[in-house]
Amino acid sequence: MDAARTTDVVVIGGGQAGLAMSHSLTDRSIDHVVLERAEVANSWTTERWDSLRTLTPNWMSRLPGFSYDGDDPNGYMTAGEVAAYLESYRRSFGAPVRTGVEVQRIRTLDRSHVVETSEGPWFARSVVMATGACSQPRVPAIAADLPGNIQQLTPTAYRNPAQVAPGAVLVVGASASGLQIADELSRSGREVTLAVGDHVRLPRTYRGMDIHWWMQTTGLLDERFDEVEDLARARRLPSLQLVGSPEQRDLDLNTAAANGVNPVGRLAGIRAGRAQFSGSFANMCTSADLKQNRLLDEIDEYAASHGLDAEIGPTWRPAPTSVGRPALELDLRSVGSVVWATGFRPTYPWLDESLVDGRGQLVHDGGVLAVPGLYVLGLPFMRRRKSSFIDGVGPDAEELAAHLVGHLERSVAGAA
Amino acid sequence: MSITEATTTSVDNGVNVEALLGAREALTAAPPAARFTFSATNEWVNGTHSRTTVEKFFGLGEEQSHRRPYTVDTDHPEIFAAEDNGPTPPEIVLIGLAGCLTAGVASVAQNRGIQLHSVRATVVGSTDLAGILGIDPDVRNGYSSIRVSYQIDADASREELQAVVAQSQKRSAVFDIVTNPTTVVVEVV
């Protein structure tokens, strides 16, 4: 058996969340270690498609003690650039990252936690799980009904159109990932059907400013988990239909359709070699248009009440989503590949089952678990709307670090 | 009545939103209680005329009952050489859809503090009998499309009412039944 390793805090995951927490702990002179299964920012280098860029502009990449200082603040980083950015962050304060260490199990003893890893056990008084919200693509059960000869991909496995089996493609899910992949496949000459459920639509820029600038400026991104009306719903909200591109182009169902994508209703079932789509497509589009216009109305009200109208562009509204006559069925004999862009779920295979609810979701209060000393970081709307953003994880890390210090002090006092 | 007739009374569409929200909370805490079974018994009368009764259903963990049994007669119209003793079954589907969506409109409006004065929906289902008569195998039996048009007089903007109607569809059982495939098993016992 390896010699026991002891520290105050074990942070699991060397991405934006783990590094932000490491910085917050370093600031507080708390002994800790960051365990990373591969390399820093691993999922950015190994689980993203080639053309992917961030949805938020470069200036919006602020982490505790670090920010973007390149020459394209209004651009959008490629996945490789994000990985390089996070590696620079790690170096900037010498984060104690141990790479190539796989966590196998967390056991809680009386006052401490044992983190069993591929390099042996770590003993710590606190553990922060910072493995992100996208550890596993969510694939619906009906995937099992697809004929076996059809290739099935997820956004973490998709790289580029050349990799996709010949034939037509069915992309399921029209949030950022699904819509971007459908658009890219269609522009590469593939016949693409896009199954569309609930989605959130917004223009890339509005009145001359990036939509995320507006969401930050109006306070939307700082909305807190203990203030929002329906937290479970806010956490389920699909990602915005946006793409980060040098020309700041819009990406919505209208632009995708103009590029040849066939949007249809939500995938409802697979019967007798045919995919069946819900007849609710029109309502999905109407709901998204209404939601979008309500947000743009709020932005206009904010601009007017803050005297911004003279400095920015005129008000406008994106064209309503064109519904057309969506197909209700697709003959799967023509389909070579199905891309499941149906969301992600975080997974904690090392955690005791009693800490997750009946649907496999971690039970936590703003990142604080019921077991003293256990924390999670980097989940959607964990403590604020921007929690899962590179730009948003910092304030969460700071607040959890403060809570964690309290726990360490209490556990010392309790032991005395 | 118009919006300018400002009223100080609170919104009342006759929907007990507090009870609905209470039920939502209670059923979140006790998922098995939320599992309901609705059932109907159908008795052939004569020709295409039959009579369906609903009375008991199961939910909240036990047998439940309507205030009294309700019966609905269905038949085909005289142009199909039938006696027209009631609506056709496809019309019953339109009735179900309209009833469900309008119940949702009232509930959502109540929850959003919107006073309704009148709500009228017209439901139009288009169908090609070449399907059920077996004339054209490419024509489906059911409606090729259904259009529901709402005329609503309420103390709210057009956009707010559109949002109420959209939300009603999102939470409607019959809208889901009509728009999505459902496994149906029919057997002879």
Low-confidence ranges of chain B (pLDDT < 50): 1-8
pLDDT tens figures, A331-363: 999 999 999 999 999 989 999 888 888 777 899
A22 shares a domain with A38: yes
Banded model confidence at residue A146, pLDDT cuts 50, 70, 90: very high
A145 shares a domain with A124: no
The β-bridge partners of B73 are B51
Whole-model pTM: value is 0.88
Whether residue A324 is predicted with pLDDT greater than 70 in this model: the reply is yes
Structure tokens at A34: 């960051």
Which of A189, A158, A160, A161 minimizes the C-alpha distance to A173?
A158
pLDDT (0 to 100) of residue A416: 43
A143 shares a domain with A60: no
A321 shares a domain with A182: yes
* pLDDT over 70 percentage in chain A: 98
Alpha helical stretches, state H, A265-392 = 281-305
A279 shares a domain with A217: yes
Which of A279, A255, A258, A278 minimizes the C-alpha distance to A268?
A278
By residue range, what is the domain housing residue A287?
Answer: 138-340
Order across the sheet with A151-153: list the strands. Answer: A151-153, A335-340, A168-172, A192-195, A262-264
* pLDDT over 90 percentage in chain A: 89
B55 contacts: CB under 8 Å, gap ≥ 6 = B65, B66, B68, B69, B70
* Residue contacts between A and B (CB atoms, under 8 Å): 39
| Lowest mean pLDDT across A21-25, A136-140, B15-19 | B15-19
Of B166, B178, B179, nearest to A286 by CB-CB distance is: B166
Judged by DSSP in three states, B25 sits in helix
A86 shares a domain with A58: yes
Pairing between β-strand A335-340 and β-strand A344-345 as defined by DSSP bridges: unpaired
pLDDT tens figures, A187-230: 999 999 999 999 999 999 999 999 999 999 999 999 999 999 89
Kindly list the distances between the CA atom of residue A133 and the CA atoms of A14, A137, A180, A258, in Å, as whole numbers in the listed order. 13, 10, 19, 32
Chain B contact for A280 (CB, 8 A cutoff): yes
A401 shares a domain with A300: no
Mutate to test the interface with B, among A287, A294, A295, A357 (most CBs of B within 10 A): A287
A104 shares a domain with A169: no
Pairing between β-strand A274-277 and β-strand A267-271 as defined by DSSP bridges: antiparallel
The Cα–Cα gap between B85 and B91 comes to 13
CB B56 within 8 A of CB B65: yes
Domain boundary among A290, A312, A340: A340
Q: Which structural domains are found in chain B, ordered by start?
A: 14-86 (3.30.300.20), 87-180 (3.30.300.20)
Of B159, B162, B179, nearest to A279 by CB-CB distance is: B179
CATH number at residue A102: 3.50.50.60
A275 shares a domain with A233: yes
Q: How far from chain centre, in Å, is Cα B175? A: 8
Structure tokens at A23: 């910085």
pLDDT (0 to 100) of residue B9: 53
pLDDT (0 to 100) of residue A415: 55
pLDDT (0 to 100) of residue A385: 96
Domain count, chain A: 2
A387 shares a domain with A330: no
pLDDT (0 to 100) of residue B69: 97
Please compute the mean of the pLDDT values over residues A8-14 and round it to a whole number: 97
A143 shares a domain with A265: yes
Domain boundary among A324, A340, A356: A340
Domain boundary among A340, A375, A401: A340
A179 shares a domain with A105: no
Please compute the mean of the pLDDT values over residues A113-120 and round it to a whole number: 96
The Cα–Cα gap between A382 and A95 comes to 23
Judging contacts by C-beta atoms under 8 Å, the chain B residues touching residue A268 are 179-181
The residue of chain B with its CA nearest to that of A283 is B166
Kindly list the distances between the CA atom of residue A195 and the CA atoms of A23, A262, B70, B141, in Å, as whole numbers in the listed order. 42, 9, 40, 24
Q: What is the ipTM of this complex?
A: 0.72
